[in-house]
Chains A and B, each alone.
Chain A
Amino acid sequence: CGFKPLYGGAGFNQLPGLQVSRGQERVDYLIDDALRDFLGDGRSPYHLTLDNETTQSSLGLSATGIARQYALVITTDYTLTDASGAVIAEGRLREESLFDASSDPYSLVSGASNAEEQASEAMAERLVQEIAVALRQREAIERR
């Protein structure tokens, strides 16, 4: 019924070794590193530009002004270009990871740090899925 595997195919096989340009904050590195782990190494003509913004929103504000949980949200604007610079795929993605607000400051700091790692990993996998779908759609259009 017309279904084709997302992974594999000319475009996808050239993704390993994807060049990424990113900022210098911790989340920027974590997403870049997770992309390399997920795609593996190689020589790729593609170039991905990431603009990541990390925010923490307080949840469950109590009567005495204390938040009881936090949502660590990463919003990423991405643009994938091929060797010639033509834009293959672009868009905005949002990933969230919740962590509890403990009364102990250290476990709060550690919770935030761990949430950054989890949300970055989830964002990297979501980016690969979006890029792979875009590559497949381009192949479908070219073939038609």
Chain B
Amino acid sequence: QTVSSDRVYLDADELIQDQQQGLYIARGDVRLQSGDRVLFAQELIYNPALNRVVASGGVQIFDGSEPAQFAEEVELSDDLREGVARGFATLLENNGRAAAGAALRRPDGSVELSNAYYTACELCETGEGEPTWRLRASRVVRDTQNKVIYYRNVRLEILGRPILYSPVFAHADPSAARQSGFLFPVLNSSSRLGFTYQQPYLWAIGPSQELIVSPRYMGKVNPLLQLDWSRRFYSGEMNVQTSFTYEQEFDQDGKFGDEELRGHVFADGLFRFNQNFRWGFGVEAVSGDLYLRRYGFEESPDRADGLFEIRDQRMLLNQVFFIGDGEHFHGDATVIHFNKLQENVDDDTLPLISPLIRFGAELPMPRWAGDLDFSFNTANLQRNAGDDYTRASLALDWTRPTVLPGGLRAEAFALARADAYAFNETDASGNEIDSTNLTRSLGAAGLDLSLPFVRPGESVNWLIAPRMAAIIASSDNADSTPVNVDSASIEFQQSQLFDAARANGYDLWEDGARLDVGLTVAADWRGALPGELEVFAGRSFRLDGDQRFPASSGLADDDSDWIGQIELDLGQFDLDARARIDSESQEINRLDLTAGFDAWRVSMNTRYTRRTDAASTRQLEEVTASAGFAITEEWSVVYDGVIDLEENEIRRQRAGLQYRDECTNLRILWERDNIDVANLGPSDSVKLEIVLFTLGGLSDD
């Protein structure tokens, strides 16, 4: 119901009318509403003759969109605007609280509080207990015109103990949009850079544009200037991070080479044409291969969506992409330039992909005729020094599932594909030796039968799901077999068991006939410890056709290796084990164990990876773990690490202590990176980050 402003609604535990004095006294959780102004108090004395309202006892005034105001006692005209309040605390918009002994609201709207303090932490109603931090000042003026809060002789108190003192201090009124100002410093001490102090300054250029200028002082090397610029447009956003310094090169033995300007630029942008089409770009440029690692920047930063991201290859990607997505189609076109940071790699040998196009769409078909997908994929690789390679492929993918009586699902499927290649080889000095163009047309068809059964029981439900697929593929004759660039390696695993074309890419085509079989048995049960267990086993039999896959793939022999999976999920604990077992030696060639535990205050995720296929050059055994323990509501400890069991080395680990409440985010993070690159040696660092909400801080998580 619309509240007309000339009427005042009141409710309370008790209403007293004193006609002689002409007073109405309301007591007990009084709520007074006039227009969109609401007042809460323990007692309210309303004098209609003088049009004056005096409210006392935990008074809270909400005035439309204005921030709420708190006071012990407020005397207001009955339209609740003017007045002097004792024990007045303004709850600023995003919970910055200025509590004051006395407050005067001046006619221009600004509020002057005397012996007041400002904090973003919960105010304890009872008054005892110290907020984590507060700014105590003799005079505080909250200027609502230009949205700033000014302090006279202010002290920063942490848990009640004064830490910093300054005669004058001002910061943005948190209810204001983005205001310029100093953010809290990042302190760090690392074995490579010594003690570092980074002081960010936020310059709010406009409502949707900001620049953070953060000079970084470092003990062992010259200072560095870092700029983080970001801008939001109507149709998208763009971010740029750059840094530069003037310094020699250095490693664990000290400085060498001559001083010169060094730096890096990371930029990404994502823009939307309309609901279906968007484009973007990613720039990663650096003055020297070791710059990022030396100064502690990520070598593969988090990027905007839609961009290719390859971590842990010490490789930079510069790319421009265009994406279209609709209900029945999806396609993207990308140009990517690579730059490897390993010194022994000549970047000229790296391909410029210009472009890579992937497009898929569903063609309209009458319902009885099954589903027909069209796809187009092309890749064009140009190399300054090395072979150029161009491929274009068109494919039609037809599937027709039916469920026969008795629950037998029979899916007929067929694939037709045409490839065109242009490939020229060059020798080491770059002149062309041979160029071949070829086209081929390929086909495959098959039948996929599955007959899953369920037995919903009282407490345990069972599922047994046998599945079989027979596939016949055309053979591509020898003279039209392209060089194998994109399907050199393959890992036989469950996600490709029943695929029509199993190769990892387009270049390798598996001809002949094969039979894939698989069985899933699953049970889920309720009761005290409800859970789910699913077991899968599968194998592939090549009936005809040549062996095309490498020895270490598990598909080399006609009868493939076994692949199996066990998944156990008990809610708070889950385990997933996947393995490939050698068809002859029954040894486990590949094992992937992932486990997760999340209960009480502990959460843990770990993964054990082992590759011991004798035929493979890639023997590896590794454990990655990340764990978190919540000591209290605010304090928590985190750890994550990567341990190489093959060479008994802890590659990378991080341990941190974090304090987080509604107004503060404090993190002490110890990081050890045991990667030896170009004699830089391992790096140890301890970083302290403080972010006081509404006062701002630079934290890079």
Contact = CB atoms under 8 A, between A and B. Distances in A.
Interface of A: 1-8, 12-13, 24-26, 28-30, 33, 36-42, 56-69, 71, 94-102, 104-115, 118-119, 121-122, 129, 132-133, 136-137, 140-141
Interface in B461-492: 461-465, 485-489, 491
B576 interface: yes
Contacts of A137: 456, 461
Contacts of A28: 325
Contact of B351 (A40, A63, A100, A104): A104
Contact of B496 (A42, A57, A97): A97
Contacts of B373: 33, 37
B651 interface: yes
Given A6-B407, A60-B622, A133-B461, 13 more contacts: A4-B453, A33-B373, A39-B401, A40-B399, A58-B311, A61-B622, A64-B314, A69-B609, A99-B489, A100-B491, A105-B313, A106-B485, A107-B487
B367 A66 contact: no
Nearest to B678: A64
B406 interface: yes
Contact of B403 (A13, A100, A107): A13
A40 B371 contact: yes
A24 B677 CA distance: 39
B401 A40 contact: yes
Interface in B515-568: 520
Interface string B173-188: 0000000000000000
Contacts of B642: 61
Contacts of B451: 5
A37 to B, nearest CB: 4
Contact of B305 (A25, A38, A65, A100): A25
Contact of A105 (B338, B455, B456, B463): B338
Nearest 6 CB-CB pairings of A with B: A5-B407, A29-B330, A140-B456, A60-B620, A6-B452, A67-B312
B362 A36 contact: yes
A109 to B, nearest CB: 6
B309 interface: yes
Interface in B396-410: 397, 399-403, 405-409
A111 B504 CA distance: 6
Contact of A8 (B362, B407, B456, B463): B407
25 contacts: A3-B464, A4-B407, A6-B407, A6-B454, A8-B403, A12-B403, A25-B306, A29-B325, A29-B329, A33-B330, A37-B397, A40-B367, A41-B365, A42-B367, A56-B311, A60-B609, A100-B489, A100-B491, A107-B486, A108-B313, A111-B489, A112-B310, A118-B496, A118-B499, A136-B456
Nearest to B486: A110
B136 interface: no
A122 B518 CA distance: 13
Interface string B113-145: 000000000000000000000000000000000
Contacts of A121: 495, 499
B505 A65 contact: no
Interface string B664-701: 00000000000111000000000000000000000000
A1 to B, nearest CB: 7
Contacts of A102: 488-489
Contacts of B649: 63
B453 A6 contact: yes
B644 A61 contact: yes
A19 B353 CA distance: 37
B312 A58 contact: yes
Q: Would you call the interface of chain B mostly helix, strand, loop, or mixed?
A: strand
A107 B312 contact: no
B475 to A, nearest CB: 22
Interface of B: 305-306, 308-315, 323, 325, 329-330, 332, 336, 338, 342, 350-351, 353, 356, 358, 360, 362, 365, 367, 370-371, 373, 379, 381, 389, 397, 399-403, 405-409, 411, 450-457, 461-465, 485-489, 491, 493-496, 499, 504-506, 520, 576, 578, 592, 607, 609, 611, 618, 620, 622, 624, 642, 644, 647, 649, 651-652, 675-677
Contacts of A110: 379, 486-487, 504-506
B478 to A, nearest CB: 23
Nearest to B676: A63
B350 A107 contact: no
A26 B332 contact: yes
Given A41-B367, A66-B313, A110-B379, A129 B452 contact: yes
B486 A7 contact: no
Contacts of A115: 495
B350 A105 contact: yes
Contact of B452 (A7, A24, A40, A140): A7
B456 A113 contact: no
A28 to B, nearest CB: 8
Contacts of A65: 312, 314, 651, 675, 677
A59 B311 contact: no
B407 A7 contact: yes
Contact of A106 (B314, B351, B406, B609): B351
Contacts of B489: 99-100, 102, 111
Contact of B618 (A6, A30, A69, A97): A69
A109 B495 contact: no
B405 to A, nearest CB: 7
Contacts of A56: 309, 311
B312 A66 contact: yes
A59 to B, nearest CB: 5
